[in-house]
Amino acid sequence: MPRTEAEIRLPTQDLRDDIPFFTKTLGMRLDMIYPADDPQVAVFSGHGLRIRVEKGAPDPPGTLRIRTENPDSFAGGARELTAPNGSRIEIAALNPPLVVPPTIHSFIVRRLADQAPWIIGRAGMHYRDLIPDRLGGSIIASHIRIPDGGPVPDMVHYHTVGFQLIFCYRGWVDLVYEDQGPPFRLHAGNCVIQPPEIRHRVLYASDNIEVIEIGVPAEHVTTIDHEMELPNGPQNPGRRFQGQRFVHFKASDTPWVPHRLPGFESRDTTISNNTQGIAGVHVVRRADGTPVFCRHDADILFSFVMSGTMILEGEDREPHALEPGDAFVIPPGMATRYAAPSDDIEILEVSLPGGFRTTQGT
């Protein structure tokens, strides 16, 4: 393929003032200038960018955003500059710290029957928002489906997150993860946690695949990695990514144990242990005993009804009859009871942090 280059053109009125700004202040390289006797055009390159500054060009001055590992040492520590040609320059951190907004607690019930819209998102997947207010931006919970199975038009990518869960609700999906060996199939009832910035790719999906995805914070960046090929090697399944280990939970390998709520039992996905307590994930079902009112002190407690029915009762609230596909968030300190659970009730429960207290009584 013949060599090809692209340039961004910016206007100027006096090129002589722009040359020292782009070369000395911004640290770019002067690659071309002409004509020699009365320069009208200069081309600069640097920071992954090629800029053509042209006298009398009809374009607006534009804005350049430069990301650097140490903004304080770049351009004298300024965060905003204006070039002689009028272009605005923004200086930002290359890897800004992850900020999780404080949780704005609220009681939320999201019913599938309410027909919230499905939005077409990344790689053609359909997204349904399970926490509309996102608790102030602290968390996003999405019900994701791919109606037509087959190859998924995905690329190797990673997410800048504090915590991320993928729970397969229906169907199956083939996935591959950095340092975790060859691709594998995630079946209904199983889940994975995607530690911060682990490279991964969705390969193939069954017809009508549905997953529940939880992300913290609600707004986070997805970055495509054009260099890494997956699977990679050698395998390193014990590797920690910012303190978290990859988990592939398989329900068939996990026993049922008494749950924190009387009248229920659960399977522990071990996610709390592998995230150093950042989050916990349990699959909950009916057991012996009578459901009672309880309170918790978790910052976030999200639940999704996967099968069966129940009535969610809460203090000073109208009861909610819940069915498969419904989701709810219970704020800390609020007394609730999972009343009249059917024998086939099964609930996905996600908490942040992984360890918290539950007390009985109204």
* pLDDT exceeds 70 at position 119: yes
Mean pLDDT, range 292-320, rounded to an integer: 97
CB environment 71-86: b (16+ within 10 A), e (fewer): beebbeeeeebebbbe
Ranges of each domain in the chain: 8-93, 118-248, 253-360
- pTM for the model stands at 0.90
Q: Give the model's pLDDT for residue 4.
A: 93
* pLDDT exceeds 70 at position 34: yes
Shortest CA distance to 105 belongs to which of 128, 130, 133?
Answer: 133
Percent of the chain, pLDDT > 70? 99
Cβ-based neighbours of 303, under 8 Å, separated by 6 or more: 284, 327, 328, 329, 330, 347, 348, 349, 350
Q: Give the model's pLDDT for residue 126.
A: 87
Q: Give the model's pLDDT for residue 123.
A: 64
Is the CATH number 2.60.120.10 carried by domain 253-360?
A: yes
Is the CATH number 3.10.180.10 carried by domain 8-93?
A: yes
Q: Strand order in 88-93's β-sheet?
A: 63-68, 88-93, 80-82
Structure confidence at residue 113 as a pLDDT band (50, 70, 90): confident
Do 118-248 and 253-360 come out as alike in CATH topology?
yes
Q: Give the model's pLDDT for residue 115.
A: 72
Q: What is the pLDDT of residues 151-187, one digit of tens each?
A: 988 999 999 999 999 999 999 999 999 999 999 999 9
Which residues are paired to 149 by β-bridges? none
Cβ-based neighbours of 24, under 8 Å, separated by 6 or more: none
Structure confidence at residue 1 as a pLDDT band (50, 70, 90): confident
Q: What is the pLDDT of residues 126-160, one digit of tens each?
A: 899 999 999 999 999 999 998 888 998 899 999 99
Q: What is the pLDDT of residues 69-90, one digit of tens each?
A: 999 999 999 999 999 999 999 9
Which residues are paired to 176 by β-bridges? 201
Q: What is the pLDDT of residues 228-282, one digit of tens each?
A: 999 998 999 999 999 999 999 999 999 999 999 999 999 999 999 999 999 999 9
Mean pLDDT, range 333-348, rounded to an integer: 98
CB environment 239-265: b (16+ within 10 A), e (fewer): eebeebbbbebeeeeeeeeebbbbbbb
Question: 96: buried, middle or exposed (CB in 10 Å: 19+, 13-18, 0-12)?
Answer: exposed
Structure confidence at residue 122 as a pLDDT band (50, 70, 90): low
Q: Give the model's pLDDT for residue 117.
A: 77
Is the CATH number 2.60.120.10 carried by domain 118-248?
A: yes
**Per-residue DSSP letters for 299-328?**
SEEEEEEEES-EEEEETTS--EEE-TT-EE
